Chains A and B, each alone.
Chain A
């Protein structure tokens, strides 16, 4: 490409974007990358679109550091309430007997780091920043004995379903450049996520960055979901009609 063509493109580029929109689009990038920052990062995508073929996905987080230290990447999903039930034996039959509700439980939580967390920072720092599933602060909605057991169950079940993950996945590609892959299972909840990157040295946070990440249903998935919430009665009626029509059609097709 000749230098003159490049110049022309550069001149034309802002025209269709019209002032403010262009400025808005540039602003976060500029804020993320001040010239003298010790830590610069970005994500390969800021939107995860859940379409009908969605089976989970992976995002690439990459960045560069200007000072030595360890990198910890934390991705937090939208939080909400979770009800944990415990089965107990009643006359030899195992039934859900007790339950405990927790508020502020992140639907998704991933930590990736260069070294094991306990080697990077003290428990006090990890707790303060809520790094590591063990240091997540979610509280029981009601007073009850043994909330620890229920809490441990939340962490265990979330981890089993791939929604809570801890990995040593931050890889340095040289003295400055690093990358980390973050996996999202198909059951990932929609909402606003945050990807946080910490540069930690000697149990101190040298630099930190936070980037939003959006998970949203798109296309048919979105429309079906929205309609079921907006017009539940019509949605139900359509569901029944579809079923009746399909049953009738099949019966006609198979008539001999």
Chain B
């Protein structure tokens, strides 16, 4: 069954879009990532114009995140205080990232920067998580040994000395508010440049850098992503006018259902299993990107069909 998308201006199969939404929603509920880094390339692959794909993915990630947060919130797995501090940092960071984006665009370097940051960050994050979770999984079958205390980043004496200490009860942390603020800002910069919610960055950073319990991380990350992606949706609706509500509705019908199953299955996974799977997924996307960049393209040219005089 086909349906015509009014903004993307093409006809798509309804079941294909529902299925895409379902798969991405499932992963987002499972791992607490928005899924934008998966959905955007998939939409472009089926022929949606890139600008529409970016803006509409952001819109549907809002829905998937709300659905996911609700499920985690009912299990009391959301640290709203931590989420809010991260969000404030994220909003500041994404504003700065926007300026950086236009500066690089002026210099004509933006394509290179986007491609490289995708590969470096996806590859780096995926690799680190993969190695770590593999190590944890392999160490498991040795009884008797006391679990080695992993020295957390925030335990460093210098960071302990930072001012503005805040108590995050849910995360069982008493740390300087500057840490999540700066983390949120850094992720925000990257999110603005790469055009994604950056949950796949935030989740490992919260585990490794802040030392938050894995169970809390997913819900808190989703909570923050709601606002970041809502912001991106508004920006695109006004500035680029590429948000396709019909496409977003179809995607989110699939994804909100998927996210429920994802969140349910996520609670059955152990922390290192979850991280290992997320690492595999992130690495797979990075490898696909590298292959796409290194292999000579079959078609060297591409064109933007936009700017037709008569299309109003």
Contact = CB atoms under 8 A, between A and B. Distances in A.
B245 to A, nearest CB: 5
Interface string B43-79: 0000000000000000110111111101100100000
Given A228-B241, A236-B238, A242-B245, A84 B310 contact: no
Nearest to B47: A187
Interface residues of A, number: 68
Interface in A211-256: 217, 220-222, 224-225, 228-229, 232-233, 235-240, 242-244, 246-252, 254-255
B8 to A, nearest CB: 9
Interface of A: 50-56, 77-90, 92-96, 107, 149-150, 153-154, 156-157, 161, 186-187, 189-192, 217, 220-222, 224-225, 228-229, 232-233, 235-240, 242-244, 246-252, 254-255
Interface of B: 2-4, 6-7, 9-11, 59-60, 62-68, 70-71, 74, 111-112, 115, 226, 230, 233-234, 236-238, 241, 243, 245-246, 248-249, 252-253, 256-257, 259-260, 292-297, 299-305, 307-312
A79 B214 CA distance: 55
A80 B234 contact: no
Contacts of A243: 59-60, 62-63, 66, 230, 233, 248, 252
12 contacts: A52-B4, A82-B305, A87-B301, A96-B302, A186-B11, A189-B308, A190-B310, A228-B7, A239-B237, A240-B62, A243-B63, A251-B260
Nearest to B243: A239
Contact of A83 (B2, B257, B299, B304): B304
B4 A186 contact: yes
B312 A229 contact: yes
A189 B3 contact: no
A94 B74 contact: no
